[in-house]
Each structure stands twice: as C-alpha cells, then as structure tokens.
Chains A and B, each alone.
Chain A
Amino acid sequence: MSAELVTLTIDGKEITAPKGSMLIQAAQDAGIFIPRFCWHERMKAVGMCRMCLVEVEGVRGLPPACTTPVAEGMVVHLQKDNVQKAQDGVLEFLLINHPLDCPVCDRGGECPLQDQTVAFGPGESRFVEEKRHFVKPIEISPNVLLDRERCIQCARCTRFADEIAGDPLITFVARGDRTEVNTFPDDPFISYFSGNVVQICPVGALTAKPYRFRARPWDLQTSETTCQSCSVGCRGAVQSSSNRLVRFLGVDVEPVNQGWLCDKGRFGFEFVHAPERVREPLVRVGGDMTEQSWPQALEVAAEGIRKAIDLHGPGAVAVIGGARGSNEDAYVWARFAKGVLRTDNVDAQLGDGLPPEVVNGLPEAMISDCDDAAAIVLLAPDLKEELPVLYLRVRRAAAELGVPLIDLSPRDHGLTKHATANLRPIPGEQGRVAEKLLAAINSGTSSDPQIRAAAQAVSGRDGNIVVILGRPSMAESADHTVAAAAALAASPRVRFLSALRRSNVRGALDLGLSPGTLPGRVTLDAGRAWFDAAWGGTPEARGLDTAGILQAAKAGKIHALVLLGADPLADFPDRKLAREGLDAISFVVAVDAFGNESNRRCDVFLPVTLWGEKGGSTTNLEGRIQRMGRRVSPEGTAMDDWRIAAELAFRFGVDFDLETVDEVTDEIARLAPAHLGVTSRLLGAARDGAVVPLADHRDALVFSSAGVASEFGWEPIRPGTVPDEAFAAAQTANVVEASGTGSAGVTQPGGQGPGEAPSDEEIDEITAVDESAVPDVPRPEVLVWDRAVTSPPAPPPDGYALRLVAGRKLYDAGRVTTSSPALANLAPSDVLLVHPSDRDRIGVTDGGSVRVITARGTTVLAVRGDDHTPSGTAFMIFDQPGEGAAEIIDINQSVMDLRLESLS
C-alpha cells in the first residue's frame, strides 16, 4: 500500500510526504520538529494548543500544522518572525496561569513546557495578575493525581481515555481560563490504562503515585525492556534511581503496543522490591526453613531429586511452571529436566492453558493483523482483563478501523459493545457454534441471525480472519476450545493469535517446557535424534501435564517436584486436586522469588531474580522474541532461573558450559529448530524483536532505531533509542541518526518510519550460528498441528442448573498485584454472578447467599444479578482473595453445572 507522495518545502528544505498526511507528521518524519503540546501521533488531532502554528504561503493567517494536510508545492515557513511571535505568544499564554512550581514538580527536567519554553518561548512573563488557583493535586483514580494548576488543557488525557482506552471518565469542566480536567462526580477515573495519561501529559499535571517525589529525571537510569505482566510483551523503558526501579514507561513499538501500557504492567514493578521477597536460599532443617549458602542449598535440591530418580526412575520427578521466566530460563530448565533428568513430566501451564501442539502448530497471526483483518473472532477470555493492551488493539480495529468483531465469548465483556455479532455459546458448545460460523462464512448465510450477521460482515472483506484463541473459562475442559479452533482452522483464511496469559508461556511452550515437546517447536519423537546428539539424552516417552502430574502425585507416583515460579493452589483450576497432589509429594524444590501457598511446604527454596534484574529474551503471544533489560542488581543473592538449572545439572555430572545469558540465547539459536538464527546479536539489533520461525518473518526485521531519542515520557518513545547498557555491545547494526533542524533545547523525536530494512547479507551475517557445534543429524521439522481432536462430549444443559464460567480479572491474588502497593487494593472480591432472571428464579436478592451444589460437592456463595452474564450461566472470578472458583471446579468434568438453592 503505497500512498501518493507530494513534495513540499519547509524553510527551504524540500521534503516528500504521503498525500493527506498532516504537516506536523510530515515534518517530523523528515526530521523537522514543529513544537506541539496537544498533538500526539497516536490520537486524532484537535488543534487546541496552537503551539504548531506555521505560515503556509497562500493561506490566510497561521494554520496549525497538526490539522493542515500537506499538498503538492506547499511552501511552509517556521522561522519567520510572525510564526515565532505566535509561538512565543502561545507559550506566554500557557505560562500565565501555570504555577511555575518546577522545583517541586516531577516533570521538571523532562517537561515539554519547560523545554519548549526554552526553545521557542519568551524569556520572561508580563503577567502581573493573580494566577488561577485550584486545590493542589486531587486523586482522580487510585494511582493518578491531577494538579489542575499545572494543566495546560491540551486534552491529551481526555482524548486518550475516550479514543484509545474507551473509558471516557475524565473530561473538561468549566470554561475559559477556569477550564479544568476532572472526573464526573462520584465516578473516578477507574481505568486499566490510567497510567498512560501520566506518560503523555506534557506538563506535570498528571502524576502517578508510585513515582511521585521518588526521583529527578536526571538521576534516572533507563533500559529498554519488555513488560512481563502478561504475554502481549509490550515494549517499555524501565528506569531506576539508586538501584531501585522507580518507573516504567511505554515504548512505541508499532507491531506490539504502540506506546501504551496497562496499569498492571506500568505499576507492577514494585513487587521486585517487596519486603516479603525471598532473598537468600532456604533449606528445611528440622521443620523450619533456614538460610543456607547457595552451594549447600543446590546440593540439597540435587540430592532430593537424585534420590527420587534412584528409587523410582525419572518419571518420579516433575517440573511445574516456567512460564514466567525468560526464554533462556525455559530452555535451560527444559534441557536440565529432559536432557539430564530425562523426565518429560514437565509443564509450564497449570491446567489453564491449551495443548502445546495447538498453540505452536496453528497458522499464526500477528497482533498487527488485527488492524486489517477480514474479521476478528474472539474465542478467548476477556481481553481487557487478561491481555489489556491487546484489548486496546482489538478495540481500535473494531471501533476505528471497521474490522468486524465476532464474539464467541461466554458472556459480555469490554469489547461486547464493539462486536458485530455476539454468538454466546454456552460452555461446551463452542465447537458446534464454530462449525456453524465457518459454514455460514463459506455459504454467506445461516438460519441463526447472529451467525448470519457475522457472515455478512465478513463477506466482501479481503484478508485473513484472525481468531484470538485462549481459554474463555477455567471451568470447562480445554477440549471445547480446541474443538472450536480445529473447526475454524479448516478455513485457509483463518489465522490464530494465542491468548494465553502468563508472560512467557509462548517461550516456555516453544522451548520444551511441556510434555511431549522439545525446544524449538518439535515433538519429542521428531526431535529425539537431534537432541540426543546435542544433549546426550532425552526422555523415553511422553510425560504428564500438570493435571496428570497432580493425579500421579495423588496416586503416590511423583516423589520430587520442582515448582518453577508456579503456585498450583492459586492457578490450577481444581484446587482440591492440587492440594491432594501437592500434599502427597515428599520432596519439593521451590524456584521462586516469593513464598506462596503451594511452595510453603517445600524442602529447598532457591530465590530467583525478577524482571528488571535479569536480561535475556522473552516470547510474546504472537511468537515475537524481544529483549529484557537488566536495570538493577538482584535483591539478596537471587540467581537467574537458567543458572540454577545449569548449577543443578552440574551436580548431576553435566556441564552445560553456559557462562552468560547470551550464550544461552545463542545455543537456542543453534539447536532449537524454530529459533534457528535468533542469535543474541540479532536480538540486540532488531528494533521490533524477531518473530519465530525467523525464516517466515525475515522481511519484518528492522535494524535501525526509529529516529533519535526523544525526551522520555511525553512524545512516543522510539524503540531502539533507549540506551540498553547490558547489550550496548550487541548494537552492531547501523543506528541511523536523524538530523533535526529545530531549536536547541528540544530533543527531536524522529518518525517511526519503516526503518532501514537490512539486506539479506546483513541478516545472514547476524543470524549465523556455529554450524560446527550442531548435531550431525537432520534438523527436525517444526510441528504443524494435524487438527485431530477427540470430539468432546457436549452434555446437554440441565434446565435446573447454571453452567459455570470462571474468568480472571486483571488484578487478582497473584504476586504482582498483592506485592505492588499501587495495585494491591484494586482486586475485586468474589461473588457468583448470574442473570437477574436466574437470580429471581432462585429466589434471592443481590448479595444473598446460595448453596452451590456441584459434582464436586457443596459450598455457599453470595449471588448478584448481572446483565452481562447470559441466562443459564453463572460467572465467577478466578483467583481472587478469599474463597475462589477453584474450590468448586473439578478438572475431570467437561463443563461445570451448578445447582443453586436459596439460603434466605
């Protein structure tokens, strides 16, 4: 899609730009900075601040560059006296009511108002009147404070809330110079995206509680990194002061997060420094956990595992977890478990995911494919709750870009109002509905009005159908989702975007932390010869997943368990089974940073480094591998997960010979078939990361940084412009310096153009692996899912029962939330939601208690009527503080039917 180009001149410099683009953007892309406050390239222009006024020959007055489209032959002047006087005037106006409390303002030192005043504004003010006064900061949300005196009414925050987040909860109030941004009475700015308004505020009006008064910008050290609070993999810049993480900002990566972060990602870093973190290795001595040295603790761990293998064989050992580490962690743990211990009882998922052959073997979509898809099909949990920034992307596609949204979710959620068709299958029916949907898309018609609406919306649209595939509910078997995926995958137009939640679940599944697989998206059978040669051994047969491990443990067959950052009692859908299984295991090694309910009874606790303390790479839900930045030194003596695996392997007589995380990355690039060529050098140079398998995504590699670093925080931060000290040496590729022509004092944001596409030779050079160190057998084939499904029994709904849907909320009982003060109080409490008609039929009022009878047993819960839960189903939040859905879910049931009896 190449837009028509026009040629124009700005201050005598000839530039070209796509016809119809706005002058301010065209100038920026050409390296010419036009000052601005209200204009933000990710939002619609409003022309309010008047900072970007320019002279255009032949046009009366001074039009704003942000709302003036470029035209052929246009002659623009920025340096003429009239333009400069207007800029000077606008800045003077902005400052007359500004409190100038820069010395106590968090923005001081990185403030666009300061910077642009120095560059374009008057030296002093002629204003001698009383300034406008407001009560100093008011809390507009639990984490965001608003100082209305500092506000310059640019509407960036209000537009973000409305246009981007879809939470229009802040708005202008009053008029003239009394205009203020505020919330509606009794309706605070409760948004999962509230932190973004702080980042894009061009003054210090909006500040975030976790960062207020913590640091001055010039004291901050910054590393570009990848967020790890979910699997979207948003790019960000993590900042520290005095070796403590203090702030996390979104970096504008076009294919992933376009600059936005959710609040969980933005404020979740606080848990890294939480006091309850385990900082030294612990070993159980006489019933109590006591601090021990690393060599002692590792020896105890190795000894316990060795004993289990010696007595019961490799199948007596299991590893649960690993989806929250880096790719390097996952790979080395897979190598240790499968290559050294030879157990295949390894699972990074906790019964809440999808089979690895489905996730890794389906034709894949990219996040950016949502923008121009023929349709987006939601076969996933509530994206707003689980993958918030993906929610923003899908919302924009549906609300702004006209992409039809077809919803197969079990109940209403954040995207419902944007959906073209709401099919609402009840749990267990997804496969059947998906078959009907596909048939309707192929034939163009259906007897079901919603399915017909969906088919009609797709007809006539080109391109692929993007299916966002996850687990819509914890209270049903994954088989139903798999069946629906298999049905949809019959169409060659359908591509899948996995919507599994845990940050590096894709990396863990890719790199062998699941039963029956080996690193690089190969099956155990296909990869055996290769990895036998490379590693010296592999498991004999396919092992157990987490549910199988817990069942085997309950039967006395698992004797040693490694909990790799996992808490089955919180995350496994069936808490009874988790409890019984864990209780039956005699030796447990916890590899974690925090104690939790599951690892409380471990024998050895090996403390690990966390995000911000470790490097390496991570894989997001679309298979994009991006770097993580190491910003602070670890708390205590915490060690990287991968290094712990290597240390343990050493105690089993195997030396992995891995010294640095880059060496691990390079071993993955050499040995994991899907990851061939994804070297540490490539990851250091690739601005937007690298998507695996690389051979299919070479065209998308960009090596140049996108323009020159802008001041953090107010203009979109360009990827590749943040110094990443740990990997500076890896930046071998050409970093293009854009040359700005603006005035001194303002750093020039460059455009996020296509960047410099590297040549084939450059890619070949940077992706080269040491072929002398690879096994002398054919490289195994990357798996493709055969769509074989065991058609799940779809029990007919029982007219007296409600079918349970269990979904997550963004803020839950997990560690990131509970150990980050900014988030800890945001978790909602749990209650059973049913349609008001069902509530009335049962005969209770909101908040009333019901006896809940399930196949599992009986419990008592509070009930509330909820229009968003379809009649015939009941919704419960999973993993909340208190009695959770996990207590009533039986993993052996295909679906969970609840009988409710009023207790009142």
Chain B
Amino acid sequence: MPITETRIVTKRLRDRPDDSWTIEGALASGAYDVLRTALTMTPEAIQDEQVKASGLRGRGGAGFATATKWSFLPKDSFPRYLVINADEGEPSTFKDHMLIERDPHQLLEGIAIASFAVQCNLAFVYLRGEFALGYDRLTAAIDEARNRGFLGNNILGSGFDLDIIVHRGAGAYICGEETALLESLEGQRGMPRIRPPFPAVAGLYAKPTVVNNVETVSTLPHILRMGGEEYGKLGVNKSTGTRIFSLSGLVNRPGNYEVELGVTFRQLIDDLGGGVRNGGKVKFMIPGGASSQWLTGSDEHLDCPLDMDAVGQFGVMLGSGAVMVYDDTVDPVLVAWRLAKFFAHESCGKCTPCREGTGWIEKVLYRMSHGLGRADDLDMLLDVGDNISPGLNAPFSQTTICPLGPSAVSAVVSLNKYFRDEILARVATATEVSA
C-alpha cells in the first residue's frame, strides 16, 4: 500500500496555501497556543520532559540530539544566544526555504520556545541572502508577532523577554557551517573556527551559543503540543518523528515531502515522487545533500529505511534531507564534476587541503567528464581525497577544519565504489580513439 505524507511541520502551509504566512492565517490554525503553555513550564521541563523525551535530532545535517546540544551550555553563564541556521545552501535541499516563506510564525514560535528553554533573550536568524521573499515574510512576521506580544518584552505576561535579529547572508555556502556562520554574523569573513572552543561554550561574541536548524526549531511547537514522549513514538529507532525530504532529480513529482522516518527510499520515490520519469529506473541517487556519498538503484539501497543510523551501513547519511535521483541517461562522472565544481567554488580557502584539493578534484573530474580522462585519474583522485579525508570513510575523518573538504570527496568515493569499471572502460576507449 502506498505511503502518504505525515504532515506535522508542513501541516499549516499545506492546509492554508493562501495565508499560512500571515498572522491571521497562523493564528487561525493554532499558532502561539503552545508558546502560551510553554511559558508556564520550567525551562528544565521543556528540555528534559519534552525535547529530550521526543528524541529530536537536528534536521540541518549532522543529526545531533537537540536536547543534548542545549545541555552543553555552561550553567549560569549569561548572556547566551540562540542562532537559527537558515542559510540553507546544500545543493538539492529546499525545505527550510519553504518553511521560512510559508510558515514563518511556526519558526518564530519555535524560536521563542527554544529561547525560553535555553534561557536566552536574544536570538538571531542567519538567513540565506537569496531568500528575498522569505526575508520579507519573516521580518513582517516578526513585526506582527512583536505587535501581538509574542516577542519583545514580557512575552504574554510571562516576564520572559526575547528579541530576534534577522541577518542576511551574502551567498556563501560555508556560512551554513555553524562556526563560519558565527564569524559572518560577527562581521568577519565567513571561515570556520578552530574547535575547541565549541559554540556552546564560546560562540557568538564569545558567549555560549546554540545553533539550531530551521526545521528543528519549527518542530518544537509540535513536540510540546503532542508531548515529547508521544512525538518520540513517531519514526523508527533513534530517528524519531517526521522529516521533510527534498526530492529532486529525474522523478515525476519532485518536491518537499514530510514523512515519518523509517519509510524507504523506494516508497519516497515511487509513492510520493511518482517514480522515475519516462518509466525509467534509478541508476544512482544522492541522499542527504551534495555532501553525502551516493546510493544506487539496487533493491538493497532502495529498500533501506530513511533512518539516520541505518543508512550508515551504506556509508551515506540523511544529512539535510535531500534525495537526488538519476536514471541511466545521466553520466555519473558529469554529476560528480558538477558537484566538485560547487565545492571548489564554495571552499572558503582557509585550510590547505580543502582550498587546493577541491579545485584539483574539480579540474580532474572536468577532464574525465569531457573525454580527457587518464587511466590513473581515478586512483589519483582517491589518493588526493585520502589526503583530505583520511581513510575515505563515512562519517568523515578529515585533515581540514570543517567538513566541506571531505564533502567534496564523497562523489569520488562513490564513483569508485559503483562505477569504477565503467569509468576505466571509458578511459580505455578514449585512449584508443585518441591513439
């Protein structure tokens, strides 16, 4: 039986396509009701009885347990800041884009709950600069929320104060990495920081800081509404709840689909995405955004559940919740080159292996994808990749400061894993032709 979406975070924007982003539309569908309740609870209760009990894990990519992240904040160290990572720039990921544009009040309610839970009075939204409509709607929503007492001083009479600053990024993918984001927010060039210290200890302006993803925070009102334990019953194993998957590529119905974790890739692609176009078959797919290693169209891969841990057996991750699907009309080397070009373009240039390595990989893959490959290119690329990400394993080990460099290696590893023979055969043909 075909699966359907489990709409929780996307419920309002799906139900009210015409006014979900307005304060009227939001209030008509229950926005800020949960906040009112939350403010009567203790921060500890929200952290432990709700968020921790829900098993909520970050929706930005790393999948780290949200309550645990909050618990790293040093006790009694104030001020502290909440920073919302809304710099969604992972290729093929477009869920936060939708949440911001079409349900900003849900995000604001989540921010207010999170801020109350971690006891911060100033939150920042680092918004991807290209989200022009999102910026307009989010800032308008903040004004409306403030006018109605959901933000500002003494929120809903609780004595809790919160203000939100929206900062627009300037188009750098690296600023989605949390420490580069903080640098950028402080007005510096966006380059990752050396850890430790971790942001929880010394983040924005060297103060304790929590950085959370848009979808993660947007989920909070629903956890409190349903009860943490109840929410935790959704999903599978340690992947609780629902997630929005950005399905793209050569499927019939690409788009954002919110499903309960635990459904399979096949169900997502066939039941929700309408299957591969022209009745074709999946040749390979890239889950988790551009940083992940790839999967193929094998039954083993297609029937793997969308479980943040189970996918690890194939060396991939759910990452930011993207799934790119390709059929056999697509040259995987060309895809790898295009991804490498992205990483080479977006490498911030701070540390050597990424700065030089991503550019090198891009240049070699360009040759390979344009008929100028050499017999030893693939092995050389693997070794170059090994110098960026020793062992070529997932999860990464890295000689770099942040995971951007190793991300660029994933495609190379995947090419070798699934298409080595095809590539070597092609090089041999090319050599014959040119000889």
Chain A interfacial positions (CB closer than 8 Å to B): 45-51, 53, 60-62, 64, 67, 82, 85-86, 88-90, 92-94, 96-97, 126-127, 129-130, 132, 152-153, 171-172, 174-179
- The verdict on B363 contacting chain A, using a C-beta distance below 8 Å, is yes
- The verdict on B186 contacting chain A, using a C-beta distance below 8 Å, is no
What are 8 pairs between A and B in contact, CB < 8 Å? A53-B399, A61-B398, A61-B399, A67-B194, A82-B390, A152-B352, A176-B355, A179-B348
Taking a contact as CB atoms under 8 Å apart, the answer to whether B349 and A174 are in contact is yes
Complex contacts, A129 vs chain B, CB 8 Å: 360, 363-364, 367
Taking a contact as CB atoms under 8 Å apart, the answer to whether B349 and A92 are in contact is no
Complex contacts, B296 vs chain A, CB 8 Å: none
Taking a contact as CB atoms under 8 Å apart, the answer to whether B351 and A50 are in contact is yes
Least CB distance, B346 to chain A, in whole angstroms? 7
Select B387's contact among A49, A85, A153, beta carbons within 8 Å.
A85
Complex contacts, A130 vs chain B, CB 8 Å: 363
Closest to A158 in B: B189
- The verdict on B344 contacting chain A, using a C-beta distance below 8 Å, is yes
- The verdict on B345 contacting chain A, using a C-beta distance below 8 Å, is yes
Taking a contact as CB atoms under 8 Å apart, the answer to whether A176 and B353 are in contact is no
Taking a contact as CB atoms under 8 Å apart, the answer to whether B397 and A61 are in contact is yes
Max chain A C-beta neighbours (<10 A), residue from B344, B380, B390: B390
Taking a contact as CB atoms under 8 Å apart, the answer to whether A176 and B387 are in contact is no
Taking a contact as CB atoms under 8 Å apart, the answer to whether B194 and A46 are in contact is yes
Bound CA–CA A179/B359 (angstroms): 11
- The verdict on B172 contacting chain A, using a C-beta distance below 8 Å, is yes
Bound CA–CA A62/B174 (angstroms): 22
Q: Which chain B residues in 387-409 approach chain A with CB under 8 Å?
A: 387-388, 390, 397-401
Complex contacts, B386 vs chain A, CB 8 Å: 85, 89
Taking a contact as CB atoms under 8 Å apart, the answer to whether B349 and A177 are in contact is yes
Taking a contact as CB atoms under 8 Å apart, the answer to whether A177 and B397 are in contact is no
Taking a contact as CB atoms under 8 Å apart, the answer to whether B349 and A47 are in contact is no
Taking a contact as CB atoms under 8 Å apart, the answer to whether B351 and A175 are in contact is no
The answer to whether A172 and B349 touch (CB under 8 A), given A46-B194, A97-B356, A177-B359, is yes
Least CB distance, B32 to chain A, in whole angstroms? 41
Complex contacts, A126 vs chain B, CB 8 Å: 380, 384
Interface size classification for chain B: 20 to 34
Taking a contact as CB atoms under 8 Å apart, the answer to whether A90 and B347 are in contact is no
Taking a contact as CB atoms under 8 Å apart, the answer to whether B401 and A93 are in contact is no
Complex contacts, B380 vs chain A, CB 8 Å: 126
A51-B352, A82-B390 are known contacts; what are 17 more A-B pairs with Cβ within 8 Å?
A50-B399, A53-B399, A61-B398, A86-B387, A86-B390, A89-B384, A89-B386, A90-B387, A92-B387, A94-B352, A96-B360, A127-B360, A172-B349, A174-B349, A176-B347, A176-B348, A179-B349
Bound CA–CA A168/B288 (angstroms): 40
- The verdict on B267 contacting chain A, using a C-beta distance below 8 Å, is no
Complex contacts, A45 vs chain B, CB 8 Å: 194
Least CB distance, B154 to chain A, in whole angstroms? 35
Bound CA–CA A129/B194 (angstroms): 31
Complex contacts, B353 vs chain A, CB 8 Å: 50, 89-90, 93
Complex contacts, B350 vs chain A, CB 8 Å: 46, 48, 153
Complex contacts, A46 vs chain B, CB 8 Å: 194, 350
Least CB distance, B358 to chain A, in whole angstroms? 6
- The verdict on B357 contacting chain A, using a C-beta distance below 8 Å, is yes
Bound CA–CA A175/B358 (angstroms): 11
Closest to A175 in B: B349
The answer to whether A93 and B349 touch (CB under 8 A), given A82-B390, A175-B172, is no
Bound CA–CA A132/B362 (angstroms): 13
The answer to whether A177 and B344 touch (CB under 8 A), given A86-B387, A90-B352, is yes
Complex contacts, A48 vs chain B, CB 8 Å: 350-352, 401
Complex contacts, A127 vs chain B, CB 8 Å: 360
Complex contacts, B400 vs chain A, CB 8 Å: 50
Closest to A126 in B: B380
Complex contacts, B387 vs chain A, CB 8 Å: 85-86, 88-90, 92-93
Least CB distance, A295 to chain B, in whole angstroms? 66
Complex contacts, A49 vs chain B, CB 8 Å: 351-352
Complex contacts, A96 vs chain B, CB 8 Å: 356, 360
Shortest 6 CB-CB distances between A and B: which pairs? A89-B387, A179-B349, A177-B359, A93-B356, A176-B347, A129-B363
Bound CA–CA A178/B347 (angstroms): 10
Bound CA–CA A564/B427 (angstroms): 81
Complex contacts, A97 vs chain B, CB 8 Å: 356, 359
Bound CA–CA A50/B174 (angstroms): 19
Bound CA–CA A532/B170 (angstroms): 79
Taking a contact as CB atoms under 8 Å apart, the answer to whether B349 and A176 are in contact is yes
Complex contacts, B174 vs chain A, CB 8 Å: 175
Complex contacts, B351 vs chain A, CB 8 Å: 47-50
Taking a contact as CB atoms under 8 Å apart, the answer to whether B399 and A90 are in contact is yes
Complex contacts, A179 vs chain B, CB 8 Å: 348-349, 355
Least CB distance, A81 to chain B, in whole angstroms? 11
Select B189's contact among A53, A86, A171, A177, beta carbons within 8 Å.
A171
Complex contacts, A172 vs chain B, CB 8 Å: 189, 349
Bound CA–CA A227/B42 (angstroms): 66
Q: Which chain B residues in 294-351 approach chain A with CB under 8 Å?
A: 344-351
Bound CA–CA A48/B189 (angstroms): 14
Complex contacts, A85 vs chain B, CB 8 Å: 386-387, 390
Q: Mark B166-189, 1 if CB is under 8 A from A, else 0.
A: 000000101000000000000001
Closest to B376 in A: A126
Complex contacts, A153 vs chain B, CB 8 Å: 349-350, 352, 355
Q: Mark B53-95, 1 if CB is under 8 A from A, else 0.
A: 0000000000000000000000000000000000000000000
Closest to A155 in B: B350
Taking a contact as CB atoms under 8 Å apart, the answer to whether A177 and B356 are in contact is yes
Closest to B360 in A: A96
Least CB distance, A138 to chain B, in whole angstroms? 18
Closest to B389 in A: A61
Bound CA–CA A89/B357 (angstroms): 10
Least CB distance, B409 to chain A, in whole angstroms? 12
Bound CA–CA A132/B388 (angstroms): 20
Complex contacts, A90 vs chain B, CB 8 Å: 352-353, 387, 399
Closest to B343 in A: A176
Complex contacts, A92 vs chain B, CB 8 Å: 387
Complex contacts, B357 vs chain A, CB 8 Å: 93
Bound CA–CA A61/B346 (angstroms): 24
Complex contacts, A60 vs chain B, CB 8 Å: 397
Select B347's contact among A64, A94, A171, A175, beta carbons within 8 Å.
A175
Least CB distance, B349 to chain A, in whole angstroms? 3
Bound CA–CA A230/B129 (angstroms): 51
Least CB distance, B271 to chain A, in whole angstroms? 39
Taking a contact as CB atoms under 8 Å apart, the answer to whether A176 and B359 are in contact is yes
Bound CA–CA A61/B395 (angstroms): 12
Least CB distance, A848 to chain B, in whole angstroms? 39
Closest to A129 in B: B363
Complex contacts, B398 vs chain A, CB 8 Å: 61
Bound CA–CA A16/B390 (angstroms): 30
Taking a contact as CB atoms under 8 Å apart, the answer to whether A175 and B348 are in contact is yes
Complex contacts, A94 vs chain B, CB 8 Å: 352, 356
Taking a contact as CB atoms under 8 Å apart, the answer to whether B352 and A93 are in contact is yes
Taking a contact as CB atoms under 8 Å apart, the answer to whether A177 and B390 are in contact is no
Complex contacts, B360 vs chain A, CB 8 Å: 93, 96, 127, 129
Bound CA–CA A172/B194 (angstroms): 18
Closest to A53 in B: B399
Bound CA–CA A88/B386 (angstroms): 12
Closest to B395 in A: A60
Bound CA–CA A96/B355 (angstroms): 11
Closest to B350 in A: A48
Max chain B C-beta neighbours (<10 A), residue from A82, A126, A132: A126
Least CB distance, A607 to chain B, in whole angstroms? 53
Bound CA–CA A130/B363 (angstroms): 9
Complex contacts, A177 vs chain B, CB 8 Å: 344, 347, 349, 355-356, 358-359
Bound CA–CA A810/B352 (angstroms): 38
Q: Mark B399-434, 1 if CB is under 8 A from A, else 0.
A: 111000000000000000000000000000000000
Bound CA–CA A88/B399 (angstroms): 12
Complex contacts, A88 vs chain B, CB 8 Å: 387
